[in-house]
Chain A
Amino acid sequence: MPEPGLTLENVIIRRDGHVLVEISDNVAPGEVLTVMGPSGSGKSTLLSYVIGTLDTTFSAQGRVVLNGADITDLPPEARHVGILFQDELLFPHLSVGQNLAFGLHASVKGRPERMRRIESALEDIGLAGFADRDPDTLSGGQKARVALMRMLLSAPKALLLDEPFSRLDTERRDQIRTLVFEQARAKGLPVLLVTHDTADADAAGGRVHRLD
């Protein structure tokens, strides 16, 4: 019986022959594993390995297994692993609604149904009626919520967070953090969080893996 959740099997990432990241762990559905380390310790490199966009200057060995399926050799778009970066990276040429539509899984068919899903998704994050807005006119907290919702609409099976809260002010940070972890738990998603902020780790409440 394969282990549910996100499993990193003996993952070693090297650059120029020198080991940058070494990790072997399982993140159960709904659980948060926090990876901590100073900048340059390869935290973000680990995430790009998991989503499948590792730069060719790195070499990696090991396997990534998601709910029992080996996804190591799949292209990023076939892995169903969602990621949130420190910057929201909303596509600047698309409206807020179009950004969500970009994420919304293709199994939702028909324009009216997709529009309905997007409208209700906007309601869920307190942004009803924002569909036609230019993403650049949103506040930092609003952008973060749209980015989160865009990713959730793509129906990911795991969640990667690359210091997604560090750009928000203290008040918003707690709010968004709570929202993200609640959603992940509600959907039973394994979460891999990388951060250098101990408050993030405390809020996540799960196990902590340190890189150095």
Chain B
Amino acid sequence: MSTSCDPATRRAKLLPWAPVLTLAVMVGPVVAGVLGTLAPAFGYLPALGGDNFGLAAFRMLFEWPGVFRASVLSVTTGVAATVLSLLVVVLICASWSGTRAFQIIERMLSPLLSIPHAAAAFGLAFLIAPSGWISRATSPWLTGWERPPDILILQDPFGLSLIAGLVVKEVPFLLLMTLAALNQIRTAQARDTALALGYAPVTAWIKTVFPRVYAQIRLPVFAVLAFSMTVVDVSLILGPTTPPTLAVQILKWMNDPDLNMRFLASAAAVWQLGLVIGTLILWRLAERLMAGLGRNWVISGGRGGATGLFRGVSLGAAALSAGAIFFGLLGLSVWSFAGFWSFPDLLPAAFSTKTWMRHMMNLWPIVTETLVIACAATMVALVLTLACLEAEERHGLRPSTKALWLLYVPLIVPQIAFLTGLQTLAIFTGIDGNRIAVIVVHVIFVLPYVFLSLADPFRNWDARYGHVARALGAGCDGVLWRVRLPMLLRPILIASAVGFAVSIGQFLPTLLAGAGRVQTLTTEAVALASGGDRRVISVYALSQTALALLPFALALLLPAIVWRNRRGLRHA
């Protein structure tokens, strides 16, 4: 939709540039970062005396004894986490879509999604550790343990706890993307038709709806795969240590005081990027194979059954993954107030506010820094997103389906692969290590989420309101500021809350762009992981969670107050 606007104003001249500017802000650093990784990986980094191209860094990488295991871990944990998350999401949608229970699941999603990865990982760790809540709840009556058993549950060498930590966070993300896809393609009819033909509900959904939904959520699935293969913060908390996953090892090399290790780190980052690309290609091939098998299965005409079983299993999986987050946060709360707490007692002998009191003063400047960065990154992302959407409206600059890929570039290109290069570039141009650099890098990751969550409500707004307003004498700007934005208050606030939560949760971008000098709740919480003081970790992880959830509460509350006498907007 595009209608004529008065082109005389300066803004109208700038607006058509919004999509280009947004792409530059979002994709530019990724491209620059990848180049900044590639050059030193092949020996070129004049500032460190590297000016001849060669494969020395790669030779060093493959002489490192851990390279095989670290690479395999990256692939296995990434693929396993993605397959499991996708499976859970498909089962939940197939068994429950269109029911009342599904609406409850839908409502729980946004808060689950906004909980930072690190906090969720700490919560899970405190549940499943040998001295964690599950072990305490079953000891000694079931296990016979009088003291925490000496078994490696956390940071197990196969990365199982890492996979679990990823699944509990990726299920809500994939589910949300699937719901958005379901809303777009109106699937109830197809499923009901299949039901009338005698198909059991789960089979009906998988055979008629899933193929179309999958085409829509392919990019989010790729994002989950790439993210799971290269995640750093969750891996530092739950992942194996000797060797760690490849991404964690790269970070260690990056932080090495010997600057020459940057050549090795860059080579490893290029290798990591190669692994991700290779795995994505294999995944694509597996998709083809599954599609072929699926077609045969559809043609076979099997009606399926076992609806009850599927419903039970999927509900169990959903409850397990939501429960892991919920009880994890509860565990963090108990630990943060715990006095003396001996094994196997289920609760501490005493509660106190001592830990909170002791860390309050340290916490304050970190909370402020976190808030300032999140506010700034979210504002920039929101303004760019609205400018793009309005430019699309006024100038018909609607992105093609292919352009949607660009939105996913920062989510699919592994952070470790381009942030490494970006930091190398930043060091030698002298722009690293300050708040502005961190904000700029946060915008890269906040933008896609803000755009994805605001685009549909903005585009689905009834354009006739705009036509009426203009026929009444309002210009394009008047329509935007006086009608469209106020009507879209709720989705705008929700998109901001999503962006805010994304910024709060960023670990690697903060660490690398801030050169370790910009401290946010996330970098501090993860740094505490190796120390193992559960009370302090809990205080930081809970503060982080509270900060991420707060904007969601505001996004729900504010429209309810502002529009309390406007029934027409209550469910907008």
CA distance A118 to B471 in the complex (A): 19
- Report B469-505 CB contacts with A as 1/0, cut-off 8 Å: 1111111101000110011010000000000000000
CA distance A132 to B463 in the complex (A): 25
Q: Which of A33-83 contact B (CB under 8 A)?
A: 48, 51-56, 75-77, 79-83
B contact residues around A76 at 8 Å (CB): 3-4, 467, 470-471
Q: Is A136 an interface residue when CB atoms closer than 8 A count as contact?
A: yes
- Report B538-570 CB contacts with A as 1/0, cut-off 8 Å: 000000000000000000000000010111110
Return the chain A residue nearest B395 by Cβ.
Answer: A56
CA distance A55 to B1 in the complex (A): 6
Q: Is A93 an interface residue when CB atoms closer than 8 A count as contact?
A: yes
Return the chain A residue nearest B473 by Cβ.
Answer: A77
* Cross-chain contact A48 with B566 (CB below 8 angstroms): no
A contact residues around B464 at 8 Å (CB): 85, 87, 89
A contact residues around B465 at 8 Å (CB): 89, 91
Q: Is A103 an interface residue when CB atoms closer than 8 A count as contact?
A: yes
* Cross-chain contact B567 with A102 (CB below 8 angstroms): no
* Cross-chain contact A75 with B6 (CB below 8 angstroms): yes
* Cross-chain contact A83 with B467 (CB below 8 angstroms): yes
Q: Is A139 an interface residue when CB atoms closer than 8 A count as contact?
A: no
With A93-B566, A134-B566 in contact, do A82 and B487 touch (Cβ < 8 Å)?
no
The count of chain A contact residues (Cβ–Cβ below 8 Å) is 34
CA distance A137 to B570 in the complex (A): 12
Contact of A75 among B468, B470, B569 (CB under 8 A): B470
Contact of B5 among A51, A75, A91 (CB under 8 A): A75
CA distance A48 to B468 in the complex (A): 11
With A76-B467, A87-B464 in contact, do A93 and B569 touch (Cβ < 8 Å)?
yes
CA distance A80 to B472 in the complex (A): 8
* Cross-chain contact A102 with B469 (CB below 8 angstroms): yes
A contact residues around B475 at 8 Å (CB): 75, 77
- Tell me the smallest distance from the CB of A52 to a CB of chain B, in Å: 7
Return the chain A residue nearest B568 by Cβ.
Answer: A92
Contact of B569 among A81, A85, A92 (CB under 8 A): A92
- Report A109-131 CB contacts with B as 1/0, cut-off 8 Å: 00000000000000000000000
CA distance A54 to B464 in the complex (A): 11
With A48-B467, A76-B467, A89-B462 in contact, do A135 and B472 touch (Cβ < 8 Å)?
no
- Tell me the smallest distance from the CB of B113 to a CB of chain A, in Å: 28
* Cross-chain contact B487 with A91 (CB below 8 angstroms): yes
* Cross-chain contact A93 with B563 (CB below 8 angstroms): yes
CA distance A179 to B470 in the complex (A): 24
CA distance A154 to B473 in the complex (A): 7
A contact residues around B463 at 8 Å (CB): 53
* Cross-chain contact B567 with A136 (CB below 8 angstroms): yes
- Tell me the smallest distance from the CB of B488 to a CB of chain A, in Å: 10
CA distance A55 to B464 in the complex (A): 12
* Cross-chain contact A53 with B470 (CB below 8 angstroms): yes
Q: Is B60 an interface residue when CB atoms closer than 8 A count as contact?
A: no
Q: Is A105 an interface residue when CB atoms closer than 8 A count as contact?
A: yes
With A89-B465, A103-B472, A151-B471 in contact, do A56 and B566 touch (Cβ < 8 Å)?
no
Return the chain A residue nearest B474 by Cβ.
Answer: A77
Q: Is B396 an interface residue when CB atoms closer than 8 A count as contact?
A: yes
CA distance A122 to B4 in the complex (A): 33
With A56-B396, A92-B572, A135-B568 in contact, do A51 and B471 touch (Cβ < 8 Å)?
yes
Return the chain A residue nearest B559 by Cβ.
Answer: A93
Q: Is B352 an interface residue when CB atoms closer than 8 A count as contact?
A: no
CA distance A81 to B470 in the complex (A): 10
Specify the main secondary structure of chain A where it touches its partner. Answer: loop
Return the chain A residue nearest B5 by Cβ.
Answer: A75
A contact residues around B368 at 8 Å (CB): none
Q: Is A150 an interface residue when CB atoms closer than 8 A count as contact?
A: yes
B contact residues around A75 at 8 Å (CB): 4-6, 470, 475-476
* Cross-chain contact A93 with B487 (CB below 8 angstroms): yes
A contact residues around B569 at 8 Å (CB): 92-93
With A83-B467, A89-B462 in contact, do A137 and B1 touch (Cβ < 8 Å)?
no
* Cross-chain contact A77 with B470 (CB below 8 angstroms): yes
With A77-B475, A92-B568, A105-B473 in contact, do A55 and B467 touch (Cβ < 8 Å)?
no
Q: Is B143 an interface residue when CB atoms closer than 8 A count as contact?
A: no
CA distance A52 to B468 in the complex (A): 11
Q: Is A211 an interface residue when CB atoms closer than 8 A count as contact?
A: no
Q: Which of A137-169 contact B (CB under 8 A)?
A: 137, 150-151, 154, 156
A contact residues around B1 at 8 Å (CB): 55-56
Q: Is B2 an interface residue when CB atoms closer than 8 A count as contact?
A: yes
Contact of A91 among B4, B6, B483, B572 (CB under 8 A): B483
* Cross-chain contact A56 with B2 (CB below 8 angstroms): yes
Q: Is A106 an interface residue when CB atoms closer than 8 A count as contact?
A: yes
CA distance A26 to B6 in the complex (A): 28
A contact residues around B563 at 8 Å (CB): 93
- Tell me the smallest distance from the CB of B376 to a CB of chain A, in Å: 28
- Report B1-34 CB contacts with A as 1/0, cut-off 8 Å: 1111110000000000000000000000000000
* Cross-chain contact B566 with A136 (CB below 8 angstroms): yes
Return the chain B residue nearest A54 by Cβ.
Answer: B3
B contact residues around A136 at 8 Å (CB): 566-568
A contact residues around B466 at 8 Å (CB): 53
B contact residues around A134 at 8 Å (CB): 565-568
Contact of A53 among B3, B6, B396, B462 (CB under 8 A): B3
Per CB-CB distance, the 3 closest pairs between chain A and chain B, nearest first, are A92-B568, A136-B568, A76-B470
19 A-B residue pairings within 8 Å (CB atoms): A48-B467, A51-B471, A53-B470, A56-B1, A75-B6, A76-B3, A76-B470, A77-B470, A77-B471, A77-B475, A81-B471, A91-B465, A91-B487, A92-B567, A93-B568, A105-B473, A137-B567, A154-B472, A156-B471
Instruction: List residues of chain A with CB under 8 Å of any chain B CB.
Output: 48, 51-56, 75-77, 79-83, 85, 87, 89, 91-93, 95, 102-103, 105-106, 134-137, 150-151, 154, 156
| 14 further contact pairs, Cβ within 8 A, besides A82-B471, A93-B487 | A51-B467, A51-B471, A53-B463, A53-B466, A55-B3, A56-B1, A75-B4, A77-B478, A89-B465, A89-B468, A92-B487, A93-B568, A154-B473, A156-B471
